Structure 1
Amino acid sequence: MDTIILKNIRLYAYHGCLDEEARIGSDYSVNLEIETNFDKSRKTDELEDTVDYVHLNKIVREEMTIRSKLLEHVADRILKRLFDEIKEVSRAEISVSKLNPPIEGDVESVTIRIAESR
């Protein structure tokens, strides 16, 4: 299998269980790794013969705008859309990080990671 990685997609969103998170929002970082097959695109050099990473980024950005209480929920929505919209994706792994989360102490980020295969 071949891999496409989108690393450190930076976004501002409004996820979280606290009311203040819905009002104020927070910075997030998303990493996405998908497995697909590059056999055809390696020969043809045509975009339609591969997975377009612009489409991958669009899915992440659109789903991150929809408020969720839990990072697990938003990550699951992103994975579902990837598999629904891009049949060439055989496996995907996503990590969503909330930067400077509102928890006691000096914590740089909180991250969840989910992986799924077809």
Structure 2
Amino acid sequence: MAYEVGGKTIETDADGYLVDANDWTEDLIKVIADADGLEMTERHMDVVKYLRDEHVNNGGNEPNERTILKAMSKLWGDKVTSKTMYEMFPGMPSKQGRKFAGLPKSTRKGGY
């Protein structure tokens, strides 16, 4: 599998995760979202930016669902529920969100 962005082919694994995280750009997010059948919103972007920041600036940290909920609740100023996050990222926020962020597939089991 591969994504096409700006005339460049971006290689992925069978699940759509980038083979080389250095290939990630914000332009790639729409392509991944289209492939997954999702429409990106600012809140989606907040989750993606949070996951990238945690991975890049916090030693490869892979936040679980509960940590993502707390971070987004603080950022958005309201209580975010698991239902809301799974509506945004049906393939699991901590896993599908990482794919959108161009990060490696999570090795965690997820959940709380």
Please say whether Structure 1 and Structure 2 have the same fold, judged by a TM-score greater than 0.5.
Answer: no
More strand by share: 1
TM-score band, normalised by the shorter chain? Answer: 0.3 to 0.5
Query: TM-score when scaled to structure 2?
Result: 0.34
